[in-house]
Amino acid sequence: MSSTPNSSVRQRLLYLHARTPSVFSEILGYTPVEPVRDYRAEITADVPDWPYQTVHDALVDGWQIVQFPHQQAPIDDRDLDVVGYEFILQKLEEVQDG
Amino acid sequence: MSSTPNSSVRQRLLYLHARTPSVFSEILGYTPVEPVRDYRAEITADVPDWPYQTVHDALVDGWQIVQFPHQQAPIDDRDLDVVGYEFILQKLEEVQDG
Amino acid sequence: MDRNPPAAETAAETLVEPGAVNGEVQPGASRDMSHLLTDLEMAGFIVNGYHLLEPDLPEGLNERIAGRLDGLGYNPGDAIAEVVPELWQVIEHPAVKGALVSLLGEDFEVMGHRHWHCKQPHTGHMSWHQDSTNNRDYRIDRLLGLFYPTDITPEMGPTVIVPGTQFRNAPTDRMATYSNIHGQVPMVVKAGTFALTHYDLWHGTAANRTAVKRHMIKFLFRRVRDNKAPTWNHDPDVMDVPTAWGGKRDDPKNVLSFGNPIGVGQSDHYKERQIRWKCWNNLLGADDALDD
Amino acid sequence: MDRNPPAAETAAETLVEPGAVNGEVQPGASRDMSHLLTDLEMAGFIVNGYHLLEPDLPEGLNERIAGRLDGLGYNPGDAIAEVVPELWQVIEHPAVKGALVSLLGEDFEVMGHRHWHCKQPHTGHMSWHQDSTNNRDYRIDRLLGLFYPTDITPEMGPTVIVPGTQFRNAPTDRMATYSNIHGQVPMVVKAGTFALTHYDLWHGTAANRTAVKRHMIKFLFRRVRDNKAPTWNHDPDVMDVPTAWGGKRDDPKNVLSFGNPIGVGQSDHYKERQIRWKCWNNLLGADDALDD
C-alpha cells in the first residue's frame, strides 16, 4: 500500500474534558496535541485563556469529535472517578515541522 | 500552523437513542447538534415530528454512525439504566453561521 | 431567614444531610377513603412515576399565591412556605394528603426542603436531571410535589417529565446527551394542579418564551416506614382478573404488567415489570414474604 | 545513609511498605488552641484537599535551608532531614504541628519517608500523578507536607495541584491525557510556605524556565487512629446556620455543601458533597453513628 501523495496532512488532536457528556457543557480540561516533532502538552503555572468554553465551540471552529465519552461505562452514583468527560477531537490539516 | 482552505466543513451530530442496539429498532430519543454558534439542543413542550423512526432511516438519509452502543458494557438483566441505546451519527458539511 | 437574590430556575438541588432534616411528621391521617388513591391510580403511579391532582382549592387561593410570588423580590429557599403561608392550604388539602398517605404511608413526612422555582421570562430550557444523586429503589420512599398556582401553557416553560424513568440507574450526567424523548409529558396544567412525582423521575424544563414568570413550588415528602398493609383505597380482589394478552389493559393488574409509557424495548420492559411487582408487593405490606 | 545521585525531579514515588515506616510518633500535643485550625479551615481542607501555612520561622532559617540545598551534590533521599537538620524546625513549628493535629489527630505520625524535590533549571513539566497507588477513602488519613524555602515564581516550576480531586478513584494512568485543568492552583508561594495536601490530590509540576534550582522538600504524615472527638478548634454550634441556596457561602456548613473549586458537574458535585459530610462526621468522631 503506497502512502498518499498528500503526506503532509497530519492529525491534530484536542482532548477536551467537559463537565457532562453533553457537548454544550463547559470544559474543565483543555489539552491540544500537535503532530509536530518535539511538541509536548504540558501543565503550566500561568493558565492560558482557552479558546473554547464548550466542546460545541470547538465543533463550530471545525474540530470533529472522534471519540465520545462512553455513556455505558459502569456507573455508581456514589463513586467519583476522573475529572470531566473526555471528548477527543481531530483536525486533519497540512502541517509542517518547525 | 495554517488551517486548510476548506475550513467551513463542520461536523453535524445526531444523537439517536434506540430501543435496542439494532439500527432497525425505533428511536426513543432524538437530539440534533448543529455546529453553529449559539445553537442549543433543548427539551421542548411541543414535541416536533422526528424525521426518522429508526437509526436505519438516518443512514438512508446520508448520516454516518461514528459511535455505536457498546454491547460489551456490563449488563445485569434486572438492572435498568439509561433510556435506549445511544447511536451518535455525523454529517460533514459546509456550514455557515447564521 | 435566608434572603437569597432573585433566581431563575437555579440548579435544582436538594441538600441531603443526615440529621439536618427539620421536617414535620404528619399525625396519622384520618381514613377518609374518598381522598385515597384507587388501585388503578396506584398502579398508574408505579408505572408512570407521577400522578396529577386538581384539588378543589378555596376560591381565589391560586391567585393570591401567584400574586405574592409575582411580587417577591428574592428567593426565600426553604422558607417559601413561611413567606407564602397560603401554600399550607395546598399541602394540607384532603386530596393532597390522601394521595400522600396512599403513596407514602399514614405517617409520611413533609420534609424541610422546599423551593420556589420561578422560571423567568425568556429563559432557556433546563436539561434532564434528578434533584440529587440517584436514589433508585423499588420502594416508593420519596416524592416531589410540584404545585402550579397558574395555568401553564407550553410556551411558559413547563416542567417536562419522562414517565417510567424512575427505576433507572441513570444519574443526571447520563441524561446529558438527551433532549426530546418519546412519550415525555410537559406539565401543561390548570391553575391549582399539584403533581406528585417519584423522586428519581427524569425531569427538565422547557424554555419560557413568554413575558411572564412561570411559578412552581416544589415540596419534598418521604416515607417513614414500610407498609404493613395497603394505605390506599385497596380492593383485595383487584388482581383477580384475566391477564390481557393483547386485550383491554385498564385494570391495575394489566397496567402493571403491560404499561409501557415511552415504548422501551422488550428487555427493559420485562425488567420494569419485575420492579413494579416488587414495588406493589412492598406497598401491600407483603415484603416480608419476599427475599430481596 | 542512602546516597543517591543528583536527580532532577525524579518520579515522585513513595514506597509504602508495611513495617518499614521508621516514623516518630508524636506525643499528645498540648492543646494550644491558637495553632489549631478553625472549622472554616477544616471545611476548606475537606473541600479543596490542601491548606497553606506560612509559619513565622526564625529569621534566616529559609535562607540557611535553601543555601544548604543549593550546595548539595547528591540527593540523600529519606535522610534529607539529617543532612539539613534545620528542616525539623519547620516540622516542629507550632503552626505546622497545630495543623497536623487538627487534620490527623493528636498522635499523628511523621512518616520516615521524605524527599528533596530539586527541580533543575530548564527542565520540563511533570504530568499529573499521585505518589503511589490510589488511596481513596473518605477519611483524612495521610497527608503530604510540601515545604518551599524560597519564593516560588510561576517560571520556577511550581508544584501545581487540582483542588477537590482527592476523593476520586483516578489512579495516575487515568490522568495521563490531561494537561491544564480549570481551577488548578500553582504553588506560587512565599519563602517558608508549608503546604499540606491530601495524599490523593492530583498534582504535577510546571516546567522550570529559569536558571535557578527550585527546592521543595516533601514530608509524609499519617493518622494513627480515628478521632473520638474533634482535634481542631471546633465550635459545636458551627452548623447551626441556614442553608445558603444561592447566598453567601463562607461558613463551614455552606462551604462543605456548595464548594466547587474546579466547577464540576451536578452529579459529581452531589457525590463530593456526600463524601465530604462523611469525612466531616468521621473527623467529629461521630462515625460509629453512621452506617457506611
Task: For residue B86, give the chain C residue with the closest CA.
Answer: C177
Question: Per the CB < 8 Å rule, is A64 touching B40?
Answer: no
D-chain residues near C18 (CB < 8 A): 277, 281, 290
Optimal mutation site among C74, C172, C217, interface D, most CBs of chain D within 10 A: C172
pLDDT band at B53 (very low <50, low <70, confident <90, very high): very high
Q: Which domains, from first to last, does chain D contain? A: 33-168+178-222 (2.60.120.620)
Contact flag for B and A (3+ C-beta pairs < 8 Å): yes
pLDDT band at D22 (very low <50, low <70, confident <90, very high): very low
Distances (CA, A) of A70 to A67, A74, A86, C173, D189: 9, 9, 9, 12, 39
Contact flag for B and D (3+ C-beta pairs < 8 Å): no
Secondary structure of residue B89 in the 3-state scheme: strand
A-chain residues near D206 (CB < 8 A): 42-45
- Nearest CB among A62, A70, A91 relative to B70 is that of A70
pLDDT tens, D182-240?
999 999 999 999 999 999 999 999 999 999 999 999 999 999 999 999 999 999 999 99
pLDDT of res. D264: 94
Secondary structure of residue D43 in the 3-state scheme: helix
- The position carrying cell 427539620 is C22
pLDDT band at C287 (very low <50, low <70, confident <90, very high): low
pLDDT of res. C32: 61
Taking 50 as the threshold, does the pLDDT of residue D16 lie above it?
Answer: no
Calpha distance C169→B82 (Å, rounded): 7
| Spatial CB neighbours of D7, under 8 Å, sequence gap ≥ 6 | D75, D118
pLDDT of res. D1: 30
Strand partners, D4: D75
pLDDT of res. D292: 40
pLDDT of res. C28: 44
Question: Per the CB < 8 Å rule, is C17 touching D290?
Answer: no
Least confident of C154-163, D19-28, D282-291: D19-28
ipTM topping 0.90: no
pLDDT of res. D133: 84
Using a pLDDT cut of 90, give the percent of chain C over it: 77
Cβ-count burial of C33 within 10 angstroms (0-12 exposed, 13-18 middle, 19+ buried)? exposed
> Is the CB of residue D55 less than 8 Å from the CB of residue D96?
yes
Domain regions of chain A by residue span: 7-96
pLDDT band at C164 (very low <50, low <70, confident <90, very high): very high
Q: Is C11 on the interface with A (CB under 8 A)?
A: no
pTM above 0.95, yes or no: no
> Is the CB of residue B41 less than 8 Å from the CB of residue B31?
yes
- Nearest CB among C179, C264, C271 relative to B83 is that of C264
Cβ-count burial of D77 within 10 angstroms (0-12 exposed, 13-18 middle, 19+ buried)? middle
- What is the average per-residue pLDDT within C243-252? 83
Task: For residue B9, give the chain A residue with the closest CA.
Answer: A62
Optimal mutation site among B10, B65, B94, B95, interface A, most CBs of chain A within 10 A: B10
pLDDT of res. C83: 96
Using a pLDDT cut of 70, give the percent of chain D over it: 86
Optimal mutation site among D270, D274, D290, interface C, most CBs of chain C within 10 A: D270
Q: Which of C160, C130, C165 is nearest to C272 (CA)?
A: C165
- What is the average per-residue pLDDT within D42-62? 98
Task: For residue C173, give the chain B residue with the closest CA.
Answer: B82
Using a pLDDT cut of 90, give the percent of chain A over it: 69
- What is the average per-residue pLDDT within A69-84? 73
